[in-house]
Structure 1
Amino acid sequence: MERQSHGGMWMRGETIGRGSFGTVSLATAKHKSKKRRGHFPSLMAVKWAEVSRSETLQKEREILTRLQGCPHILRCYGDEITTGNGELTYNVLLEYASGGTLSSRIKNSSGGLPEANVRRYTRSILQGLDHIHEHGYVHCDIKPQNILLVRCSFPSSSTSHNNDYIAKIADFGSAKNTVQEQRKRKDFHSLSLRGTPLYMSPESVAGMEQEAPSDIWALGCVVAEMISGKPAWNCEPDMDVDELLSRIGSGKEMPKTPSELSKEGKDFLKRCFVRTSMFRWTAAMLLHHPFVSEDPQLPNDSKVQLAGSFVEELALGGRKRRRISGSDKSSAAENGFKPESKASITTRQEDCCSIRRLPQLLDIELPYLWYPSELSVNKKGLGGTDH
């Protein structure tokens, strides 16, 4: 039976999503209710779970608090414990995404989204990822289901209805703090992976490594899917999940780049789909790529140079400099690189059930978690549930 408990300043409405880690409902602010610093918006989303099963939700609330201030990450308005049907409920109040998920937008399109929209959404996601990575976190589950479309506060009169929405990153249940993970690391056998197989990077599958570059690989998969309307990996309906993971980690194949994508877009995906993670472009670098750059008139010494056998990046006013070999196979020593740290990768195994076939992988709207010995599905809410 669904709880009818309400908060001190808000009222719970209809359910719009469910998962093993929480349920998402609409929420409306009570008349004349006030937060300590301002007002609640009239309409919100509340993600809730029994207090005894709210560990992941509490962790997500903590991460959102640490990442607050970025307009490209779903906003959190606070949390509250309520009582309903004789049980305690933990609630997290979130920004309501009236445009639903990016996954829904892609499915409702006719073979993919207009490239102009793809460029805008991609830039928003990159800005969110840059903020996440700068604060020492990795999202670990970037995919269309976890990108929400929120209506702009001040839409331009020249934009269409669809352009009135901006993309925001949501669902941080699989996210990790790289510093904390390094401290927890014990041995290789304790490592496991977070995320969804179709968007996993080669180093995640083959090397059990999930750092910031893994989010960039996943972003490339999302961009390809936005353009074509299909997953970046061309999979047969009866393909086993283990076969897909083998293709991703083997080093012999790459995700499909849509032929209809512009030259700038194809080059952008080339920078995301670099198998050696240390040579993959960062979010800060990609923000200066012509595919998403808002200011094509930047001075030459501040733009990412796309020609030649290497790239020098001065995107942050000279404070950071990165030189990348044009070849994915060049050694770190030859190019002056130091390998990035490999943090411990841990995950909870709550409410998991075995799954083996790809059709389920393609259709389900919930995030997966893969372990070395088996593939499991973890059914949690918000970002993985279409509105």
Structure 2
Amino acid sequence: MEIKEDDDKAEGKKLCARNKHGDGVSWYRGALIGKGNFGCVYLANLKKPRSKFSCFPCVMAVKCAEVSISGSIQKEREILDNIGRCGYVIRCFGEEITNGENGEMVYNLLLEYGSGGTLVDVIDKLGGGGLVEADVRRYTRDLVRGIYWIHSKGYVHCDLKPDNVMMVGNCGTGEFRAKIGDLGLAKRGMRSNKKRKLDPYFRGTAMYLSPEAVADGIQECPCDIWALGCIVIEMFTGKPPWDGTEDLDANELLDRIGEGRESPKIPDEISVEAKNFLKGCLAVKPMYRLTAEMLLNHPFLEGLVDVIETEEIEEFSDVNADSSLVLLSEAEADDELNRFSCSEDDSFVTEEESVSYWCEEVTNGGQIVAFDEEGTLKIQESTHTASSRNDSEYDHALNTTVPTSTGLQYPVAFTIPTGI
């Protein structure tokens, strides 16, 4: 009897969520899996998952908020469109407005679902012991590739942390890939022909902010590399990068970081390559930090084999980008076709409060960069900004290898003087 009552309560909560924010044309809202200042994140399931007319995967995550307060989510959609598709950044499938209870309009952003939860969930499952180095290397390479892609498109993430790293399953292999999400606080990086503008407030989470971000309000590409170093330490130790600061409030922690006299402690029990990698990420002065391109060639990430994706997913287009797409009713979509089958597990997506966000100008141009199945870096000039509607560019148009002499390589001997 008690089990039936629990099931009824769970079903009641799902119905409450659906009534509060409404369902989409082709999907319905499932369980709440995350919540933050931006709004809420729910599971989204297709009403007709086997329909040949479907332009979505059968399970997604939908980030939503009332239209009047959805600026951060809409900013994230804009940035995802501008940087284009990358296998190491959470994918966007489109947006939709639904009608919630009391008639309010709700903005919904349809995103790739991380069935493995977040990197925080992976770390917490080990009870504070930290991940084995082989897993740390694999997830770190995923993150470096994602960071390199974002930086190559002219953006800085500004809020990299384990909570914003989603673990996306590869159907049929049991492996998970770390993908960067939550780009709502991202900003355009500094251009050489423009004078740097200092932000009046820093963006992101205090624990992962770099010294120059706290002290000078400067958040450029090196600040993402610093945050990466903090994440790697957390993966190794299972503890926050600034361990021993539990008794400090946010202002005291920021004062400690902004002084720039120390970096998070590098674990003693890790390999020499891992220590050197972290030293290159956590140099106090940003000019001495390695770039994402240099880190791709670091010995710590050598010898890793790429896991070939076996998802039986066709190229899902962005429902909002395809002008020829017509949304069909359920009655019109009864002609079903077996084209996708993948079981997903529920997970919890956590998100801490963020400081603020700004809308940035958007410009075209840039390069298309990717990695082939052997892990070789590919690059090709692009005359327009890649977007989620041009997915073939990522998979097929990248066929020119970057010459070793022109790419930024990890230095064989890279000495960082004490105190910088």
| TM-score (norm. length: structure 1) | 0.72
Q: Report the Cα offset of residue 242 of structure 1.
A: 2.5
2:415 to 306, 316, 326: 326
Q: Is the 8 A contact 1:276 1:329 kept in 2?
A: no
Aligned to 1:62: 78
* 2-structure distance, mates of 1:316, 1:15: 47
Equivalent residue number for residue 291 of structure 2: 282
2:153 alignment partner, one of 132, 135, 150: 135
8 Å Cα contact 2:297/2:410 also seen in 1: no
The equivalences for 1:167-246 within 5 A come to: 167-178=178-189, 191-246=200-255
Distance 1:279 1:51 in 2: 43
Equivalent pair of 1:224/1:232 in contact (CA under 8 Å): yes
1:106: Cα distance to partner? 0.7
Kindly report which structure 2 residues correspond to 1:1-387, keeping only aligned pairs within 5 A, or say none.
2=17, 3-31=20-48, 39-85=55-101, 86-110=103-127, 111-155=129-173, 164-178=175-189, 191-294=200-303, 317-321=404-408, 326-328=415-417
Contact 1:284 1:315 survives alignment (8 Å)? no
Runs of 4+ in 1 over 3 A off after TM superposition: 32-36, 179-186, 320-325, 327-331
State the alpha-carbon separation in 2 of the partners of residues 330 and 321 from structure 1: 25
Greater gyration radius: 2
Native 8 Å contact 1:121 1:167 kept in 2: yes
Q: Is the 8 A contact 2:95 2:109 kept in 1?
A: yes
Deviation at 1:323, TM superposition (A): 9.3
1:288–1:315: 8 Å Cα contact kept in structure 2? no
**2:185 alignment partner AA:** S
Alpha-carbon offset, residue 259 of structure 1 = 1.5
Residues 182, 107 of structure 1: CA spacing in aligned structure 2 closer, same or farther, 3 A cutoff?
farther
Distance 1:320 1:185 in 2: 26
What whole-Å deviation, never above 9, does each CA across 1:25-45 have from its counterpart, x for those lacking one?
010112168798x63111111
Higher strand share: 1
Q: CA deviation at 1:227?
A: 0.5
Distance in 2 between residues matched to 1:108 and 1:21, nearest whole Å: 27
SS in 2 for 1:217: helix
Distance in 2 between the 1:119 and 1:207 partners? 32
Q: Using the alignment, how far apart are the partners of 2:236 and 2:225 within structure 1? A: 17
User: For residues 67 and 125 of structure 2, what CA distance do their matches in structure 1 show?
Assistant: 36
**Structure 2 letter corresponding to 1:326:** T
SS at 1:291 equivalent: helix
Q: Distance in 2 between matches of 1:33 and 1:267?
A: 49
Tell me, which stretches of 5 or more residues in structure 1 are unaligned?
A: 156-160, 297-301, 303-313, 332-387
Deviations 1:156-201 (CA, angstroms, capped at 9, x unpaired): xxxxx5xx11100011111111259997976x5x621001111111
How many Å apart are 1:257 and its aligned residue? 0.6
Partner amino acid for 1:221? C
User: TM-score, normalised on structure 2?
Assistant: 0.67
